[in-house]
Each structure stands twice: as structure tokens, then as C-alpha cells.
Amino acid sequence: MYFVNYSYYVYKNQQKKGQTQFTNVKSNVLSTLLLFLGKMNYSVLGFFIPFLSMWVAVLIKNRMCRSILIFSLLLLVGCKEDSTSKKVEEEPREVQVVDSSKIEIVTRRTFKSFKGMADSTFVRLADYNDGFAYDLRYATDNNFLKAQVYDCAECYTRVKTVKALIAANTDFRKRGVKIKFFDCYRPNSVQYKMWKIVPNPQYVANPVKGSIHNKGGAVDITLVTLDGDELDMGTDFDFFGKRAYHDNLDLPQEILDNRKLLKETMEKHGFWSIRTEWWHYNLASASNDQIANFKWNCN
Ligand SMILES: [Zn+2]
């Protein structure tokens, strides 16, 4: 570009000195052309260069000026080539195709710590361990009350109960099974709701006296395989009848074995059972705790 402008400068000087041999019309046309060349995009310029070269060579009779112009035009062709090759470099040369099925997504959950927490604090079990299964029946109407008494399905209980449950579940998982919860801590206000629906101490604990569920020390559970299939315990949860009794031995051996595994492992970790409900376990150390009415947030 410098040479194009220089050519124009030489031409103008010649014009001032009266040395130019161009006619006025020819001079104006040439000066316009030179300015136009200076502003043109190189790629567009490259297209016109052969025509322009021929035309300019015919017009210019001054040898020196002609040589400079031809040299400038040749240089412009070189610039154009450089510009083209630069564009090629900018284009992506290689596209890497990754098979998405081979990407391993590693998710690592972080759990809360018990550090500095009192054993009596109410916590959400799922915040401390994800090795359990849940079917919290009182958050649905699939229960003997035929009514939903919890606003949402959450398993809260006291820290000491959570610790004992995690320890028991660690043992269960070594045997290829895990705990599934039907119910955990139950606020005293929910006990009142249940009592209102079924005011019969044979099925529902009197809320004034409360149950160990209200103290955060009881859980209703069964066992499922690690894939989530329930082990046969002989009856559904909250089946009130002799078939659900621990001392009913008139049952298939598989059911007795499943109940035995549940009972012996839970007892090993500080829980005791009640005779009439195979699913109910109390943490022994929670018996003297206060009835609570802590309510969890459903949002
Ligand atoms: Zn229970």
C-alpha cells in the first residue's frame, strides 16, 4: 500500500512541476484510480489487478512512474496471497469426535458431619448417608389411616439414632441388603392427627403419652436388596394381626430368616423390637428422651 501511495505522490509532484505527459482527463482518471487502489480490499483488488495493470501500463508513458506502479501492483498481489493463506490458518484443521457413551461421569456427594453436634439434635438422615431406601407411607394415603398426615416425605431423627442406623445399614449392605424406611421421627402434632383419625391405642399411641417415634428414637423399617427389591417379611407394613408377630413361627423359613436378619442386626446396634410389629424398632437409649414437636421444612 505504501508503494501505491508513493506512486501517487510521485505522480502529483510531476504534475506540479509540469513534467507529466498525461492530459488533464487522463491525470484525473489515474489519480482517482490510485486512491481507489489504496482503499480497496486486497481480495477484490486481486481480481482487477490483471486488467488494471494493462490499462495503467498503456496510460503511463513516464518510465520511472510506470516501473513503480507495476512494482506496487506486483507487491499487492503478494499481499493478497499472504492474506489468503492467513485465512486458511484460521480455519479449524481438526475436529475431535468424542463418543459420549465412553465418558464416565463421576459424582461425589458430600455429606454433613456430626462434628460438634449433640446426640439429641434432629437431623435429616439423607444429609449424612445415601445408602438407604425410603417409602414414607404417612406422606401418602397408602397406610392403614388411608390419609396423608405428613406434608412431605422426609426421614428426620435424632443424631444418635442416625449414627446407629448408619452402623446397622453398613452391616446390612455387607449382606447385600439395606434398610428401607416406612416411618422415622414423628412430630407430636402428627401423632394428634393420627389419633384424631383412629383414636384407638391398639393401633395409634395416645399423643398425650406419646410414642418413641415422637421422641426421635423409633423407626419402622424393612429390608430391600441393593437394587430395591423388598425381602419377604410375611406381611405389609402396619398389618395388625398375628402374622406380623415376632413370636409367630408358623411362617415359611425364608420369611423367618429375613426377620431374623433384621432383628439380630438391629439389636446388635442398640435397637430393640416390639412383639407385635416386625417393622418397628426403638433405640434403647432414646426411651427417656422428651416427646418432641420439631417440624422439618418442606421447601
Ligand atoms: Zn413404629
pTM attached to this predicted model: 0.66
Q: 1: how many CB neighbours lie within 10 A of its CB?
A: 14
Between the CA of 220 and the centroid of ligand 1 the distance, in Å, is 5
Asked, for residue 128, whether it belongs to a domain, the answer is yes
DSSP letter for 294, please. -
- Regarding whether 133 and 85 lie in a shared domain, the answer is no
Q: Which three cell numbers stand for residue 94?
A: 481438526
Between the CA of 226 and the centroid of ligand 1 the distance, in Å, is 23
By residue range, what is the domain housing residue 49?
2-90
Say which residue the cell 418432641 belongs to: 292
Between the CA of 260 and the centroid of ligand 1 the distance, in Å, is 18
- Name which of 154, 150, 180 is nearest 281 in CA terms: 180
Between the CA of 237 and the centroid of ligand 1 the distance, in Å, is 9
- Regarding whether 127 and 80 lie in a shared domain, the answer is no
- Regarding whether 267 and 127 lie in a shared domain, the answer is yes
- Regarding whether 205 and 76 lie in a shared domain, the answer is no
Between the CA of 261 and the centroid of ligand 1 the distance, in Å, is 18
| H-state helical runs in the chain | 2-17, 24-39, 42-59, 63-90, 159-174, 188-197, 212-215, 253-268
Asked, for residue 25, whether it belongs to a domain, the answer is yes
Cβ atoms 183, 213 nearer than 8 A: yes
- Regarding whether 281 and 205 lie in a shared domain, the answer is yes
* CA distance between the termini of the chain: 70
Say which residue the cell 394415603 belongs to: 141
Between the CA of 82 and the centroid of ligand 1 the distance, in Å, is 83
Give me the pLDDT at residue 37, please: 47
Asked, for residue 298, whether it belongs to a domain, the answer is no
- Regarding whether 135 and 279 lie in a shared domain, the answer is yes
Give me the pLDDT at residue 266, please: 98
How far apart CA 52 and CA 68 sit, in angstroms, is: 14
- Name which of 128, 134, 203 is nearest 162 in CA terms: 128
CATH of the domain at 276: 3.30.1380.10
- Regarding whether 212 and 85 lie in a shared domain, the answer is no
Cβ atoms 265, 223 nearer than 8 A: no
Q: Which three cell numbers stand for residue 58?
A: 498503456
CA distances in angstroms from 3 to 70, 71, 74, 118, listed in the order given: 10, 8, 10, 86
210: left (phi over 0), alpha (psi -120 to 50) or beta: left
Between the CA of 204 and the centroid of ligand 1 the distance, in Å, is 9
Give me the pLDDT at residue 254, please: 98
Domain end position, chosen among 90, 110, 138: 90
Between the CA of 127 and the centroid of ligand 1 the distance, in Å, is 22
Asked, for residue 106, whether it belongs to a domain, the answer is no
Per DSSP, the residues of 221-239 read EEEEETTSPBP--SS-TT-
Between the CA of 35 and the centroid of ligand 1 the distance, in Å, is 95
Between the CA of 31 and the centroid of ligand 1 the distance, in Å, is 101
| Neighbouring residues of 20: CB distance < 8 A, sequence distance ≥ 6 | 11, 14, 27, 62
- Regarding whether 275 and 162 lie in a shared domain, the answer is yes
- Regarding whether 151 and 43 lie in a shared domain, the answer is no
DSSP letter for 274, please. E
- Regarding whether 201 and 270 lie in a shared domain, the answer is yes
Between the CA of 202 and the centroid of ligand 1 the distance, in Å, is 13
Residue 52: exposure state from Cβ atoms within 10 A (0-12, 13-18, ≥19): middle
Asked, for residue 115, whether it belongs to a domain, the answer is no
Give me the pLDDT at residue 109, please: 78
DSSP letter for 230, please. B
How far apart CA 10 and CA 68 sit, in angstroms, is: 9
Asked, for residue 146, whether it belongs to a domain, the answer is yes
- Regarding whether 203 and 58 lie in a shared domain, the answer is no
Domain end position, chosen among 46, 73, 90: 90
Between the CA of 78 and the centroid of ligand 1 the distance, in Å, is 89
Between the CA of 213 and the centroid of ligand 1 the distance, in Å, is 7
Between the CA of 299 and the centroid of ligand 1 the distance, in Å, is 26
Asked, for residue 235, whether it belongs to a domain, the answer is yes
Give me the pLDDT at residue 172, please: 98
The amino acid occupying position 83 is S
Per-residue pLDDT for the chain (299 aa), expressed as one digit of tens each? 444 444 444 444 444 444 444 434 444 444 444 444 444 544 444 444 555 555 555 555 666 656 655 555 555 444 444 444 444 444 555 555 656 555 656 666 799 999 999 999 999 999 999 999 999 999 999 999 999 999 999 999 999 999 999 999 999 999 999 999 999 999 999 999 999 999 999 999 999 999 999 999 999 999 999 999 999 999 999 999 999 999 999 999 999 999 999 999 999 999 999 999 999 999 999 989 999 999 999 98
Report the number of distinct structural domains present in the chain. Answer: 2
Domain end position, chosen among 90, 110, 137: 90
Say which residue the cell 488494471 belongs to: 52
| H-state helical runs in 142-252 | 159-174, 188-197, 212-215
Cβ atoms 21, 66 nearer than 8 A: no
- Regarding whether 216 and 152 lie in a shared domain, the answer is yes
Asked, for residue 85, whether it belongs to a domain, the answer is yes
